Structure 1
Amino acid sequence: MYTHGTSRINEFGHLEIGGVDTVQLAKQYGTPLFVYDMALIKQRAKQFQDAFIDEGVPYQVAYASKAFSCLAMFQLASELGLSLDVVSGGELYTAIKANVPMGRIHFHGNNKSISELEMAVEAKIGCVVVDNFYELEQLSRICLEKETKMNVLLRITPGVEAHTHDYISTGQEDSKFGFDLESGQAAEAIERALKAEKIELLGIHSHIGSQIFETTGFVMAVEKIYQYINQWRENYQYVPKVLNLGGGFGIRYTEEDAPLPVGNYIKEMIRVVKEKSAESNMDLPEIWIEPGRSLVGDAGTTLYSIGSSKELPAIRHYLSVDGGMSDNLRPALYQAKYEAVLANRAAEQTEEVYSIAGKCCESGDMLIWDLPLPKANHEDILAVFCTGAYGYSMANNYNRIPRPAVVFVEEGDAYVVIERESYADLIRLDKPLVSVVKQ
């Protein structure tokens, strides 16, 4: 069995995470259940930070909270000295309620509403990552009205396409995100930002994709950006103080994946930024990154109870679980792959190959195809690894299925950080017909 973080097989043959028996977790809190290994999150955050400290450069490591957002996760990130990326008013509201230092919050997004921008300005967050001319205009107007300055990064698309799934490639020119370099959009945005009275242009943001397993794309992006920085210095006497190189660092979902140690990405980024700054006789900018998946992805495991089965001789053997695309959309969206074990029989040898089906009323609700397992029984507990990113954050109520509970585990203790939704929660905002029909 592939193990990571604090996971192991205990003396009962059960999967254990953070010193807690997952079978007991399933009994106590029900399934589906997200289980997060706090020690692994802490370890990963330290690895990113240590890579910068070792190189002696100014930096910020910001948790990209779209991967998984809740009060407890924001509090943990803050305690670990991480900054925080938010992409909506809801994420910003959660950060405010979690008492995250406002100066450490960065607000992303390609279509921030006026009310979201006003919320960010009023909260005095650290910076807004401006994505387009409309947003730059509206933010400038709001800042003038509120007589408040706002730090800004301009998101640019460097024309570098990472080796990743088409749906999660964002660094290429044809993207809904950011100002294009080649067409001159980025230069025009810089000129406008520098002229805006209440806008403080800190620097440039670039994100080339997700689930990246090599450093070449990051190097190419930096090299491309510096070609234009030289032009901006000549034309506008502007040199970025901050260079945000985004995230996208890959994790291991299956044996097919081969991510680099996180320090390797950082050290290579720093190397090329130092090199290009020296070549251009420029001060070294502060380097920011924004890992999300690589901080929480493999720290999360989802526990399911196995229910029905269907065997088609010589074709396929289906096992159905009590969750699916309602708590993990990634297989349906990206054909994402996962590994899993029977948590209550983790030490046993595999005997059969199953395909794991979700319970939603869609033929595409399949979590894992062709998974080797011991001969499975009803009520066995299936543990699916590496579901900590974009699992709960994309969870939904399709078929009116309540969203799962979330627990953090560490050193033998379990902490419920999100309660399981009830059926009453599902209809809390509903209005009966009698209240809306004319009498």
Structure 2
Amino acid sequence: MDALGSAPGNHMTGHTHGVAAAPEAIESATRAPDWWVRPGLDVVDGRLRIAGRDAEALAREHGTPLFVYDLERYRENARRFQAALGTAGIPYRLRFAMKANPDPRVLGVFRGLGVPGSPESVGVDACSPGEVTRALECGFRPDEISYTGTNVSERDLDVILAADGLHLNLDSISQIERVGRRAPGRTIGIRVNPARGAGYHAGLEYSGDRPTKFGIYEDRLDEAADVAARHGLTIDTVHFHAGSGWLAEGLQAFEAALAEATAMARRLKARGCPIRELNVGGGLGAPGRGHEIPVDLRAYAAVLARHVVPLGVTVTCEPGDHLAKDAGIVLAEVVAVEDRGGARFVGLDAGWNVNCGYFVYGFLQEIVPCRDPLADRTWTVEVAGHINEAHDVFAEDYPFPPVVEGEVVAILGAGSYAEAMSSTHCLRPIAPAIHLERHPSGDRHRQDGPGSDASATDATIDFQ
């Protein structure tokens, strides 16, 4: 099985194994083969369905590789997150980390969840001028957008400062100085580095023991406040981001980071800064395999309440993966099944240029055949892509059902940091995407492409 903490970009280890799965591997893989099944992603008559549509049929109709999204799942995830925060009794804002999936149709889902400023509304977290522009184009008001970037250029500031009312969190003393010169008297937030981190593995901790490029450390906090004061900048927000992809076992580490950030916020308040918001960033992951335990959102909200309520501020959460990951899949065709050097390889017509979650981050992913997705996993395989790089793999030592060339498989958990990070490496084309709306009955559908152009390959399919 893949090592949970394996370093990104170092997955092809060259080890040798047989083509039959060891009994313990089979047991582990089949203990809960349907752990990922949910409304909108289920198995009907032995076939995988997403948002009520047969997954293999979509692949045959539109080709592979193909992204398919269940738009209702984004709504469900946001509502569940809001419900947990509401139950904890803390004033909150929820923003979607749009780098996870900046597709206009996905942003439109979040934009439509509530009246701006209401508890039901969802804003966006942006980290580039392009994301700010995209959010505005999708109907978000500037005051619904929070910008937290790093190594911001003057060109970046041209766009950011033009969005009057945007929440701007500055990542360094250099940024505070630059914004102070260009926009004296402005209200800002600052990103701090609590020197405590939480992540899917150590490499994804944004503020751990090792120095990182993110945020202002405690030993320079007073200097940052002095620079802001010299330019008449008002600091009303403290932001931090502990890391990416952490699951249930990371909650304690997150709380340690939260405690440090809260202490830094108190220091700023003691200096007279009117701190109104503690922005805890995102970082909450979503399970990729059955053995991974998701964050208990009620426990997460209770941790926030423990530290934020005494501070008397609003807490802002900016998840990406947690709202988006399980809303999408990638469909790919099996184009090779071959034993090599004692290993069995299942080759797909998709590569890390389409879905780089394992290649870049080391995130484990579940892969299932569209026909009989709950079949016994009696093989152990390497699932590899078609990019001419040794590290182009989706899974290693992976218990998998027997498959043949020509079958269609689904890579689950592709709703975030997949299409958004696609590339044309090796001049492979960007995979098209289909966005589905669930409806309880009927098999008629409307096909609309991006904007107003009809398209069979990049479509919003709406059951009616």
Aligned pair count reads 405
Q: What's the TM-score once normalised by structure 2's chain length?
A: 0.82
Query: Partners of 2:234 and 2:274 in 1: how far apart?
Result: 13
Cα deviation for residue 177 of structure 1 reads 0.6
User: Structure 1 length as normaliser, TM-score?
Assistant: 0.86
1:138 to 157, 178, 182: 178
Contact 1:63 1:84 in 2 (8 A): yes
Amino acid in structure 1 at the alignment position of 2:234: E
Structure 1 residues 124 and 230 mapped into 2: Cα distance closer, same or farther (>3 Å)?
closer
In the alignment, the residues of structure 2 paired with residue 387 and residue 76 of structure 1 have an alpha-carbon distance, to the nearest angstrom, of: 17
Task: State the Cα distance separating 1:5 from its structure 2 match.
Answer: 4.2
Which residue of 2 is the match for residue 280 of structure 1?
A: none
1:193 is matched with 228
2:340 counterpart residue number: 312
CA displacement 1:117-156 (0-9 Å, x = unmatched): 1212212242111001221122222225xxxx64321000
The aligned amino acid for 1:156 is V
* Residue identity matched to 2:104: L
SS in 2 for 1:361: coil
Aligned-partner Cα distance in 1 for 2:58–2:290: 27
Q: Secondary structure at the match of 2:110?
A: helix
Q: 1:266 & 1:327 partners in 2: Cα distance? A: 34
Aligned position for 1:242: 277
Q: Structure 1: how far apart are the matches of 2:186 and 2:92?
A: 20
Residue pair 2:281, 2:319 contacting (<8 A) in 1 also? yes
Q: Which residue of 2 aligns with 1:434?
A: none
Amino acid paired to 1:117: L
The aligned residue for residue 72 of structure 2 is: 39
- Residue 297 of structure 2 corresponds to residue 269 of structure 1: no
Identity within the alignment, %: 23
- 1:12-411 aligned at under 5 Å gives the runs 13-80=46-113, 81-144=121-184, 150-172=186-208, 174-181=211-218, 183=219, 185-197=220-232, 199-212=233-246, 213=248, 214-234=250-270, 236-274=271-309, 276-277=310-311, 284-312=312-340, 315-411=342-438
Local SS of the residue matching 1:122: coil
The one-letter code of the counterpart of 1:358 is G
CA distance 1:370–1:231, shift in 2 (3 Å): closer
**Shift of residue 300 of structure 1?**
1.4
User: How has the CA–CA distance of structure 1 residues 420 and 290 changed in structure 2, closer, same or farther, with 3 Å as cutoff?
Assistant: farther
The answer as to whether partners of 1:402 and 1:420 remain within 8 angstroms in 2 is no
What is the CA distance between 1:66 and its match in structure 2? 1.2
| Contact in 2 for aligned 1:121/1:150 (Cα 8 Å) | no
Gaps of 5+ in 2: 1-32, 114-120, 440-444, 459-464
**Distance in 1 between the 2:39 and 2:192 partners?**
35
CA pair 142-415 structure 1, distance change in 2 beyond 3 A: farther
State the one-letter code of the partner of 1:155: R
As a proportion of its length, which structure holds more helix?
Answer: 1
Q: Is the alpha carbon distance of 1:262 and 1:36 closer, same or farther for their aligned partners in structure 2, counting shifts above 3 Å?
A: farther
RMSD (Å), alpha carbons: 2.2
CA shift for structure 1 position 369: 1.6
Write out per-residue CA displacement over residues 179-203 of structure 1, whole angstroms, 9 at most, x where no aligned residue.
001x2x1221122223323x33221
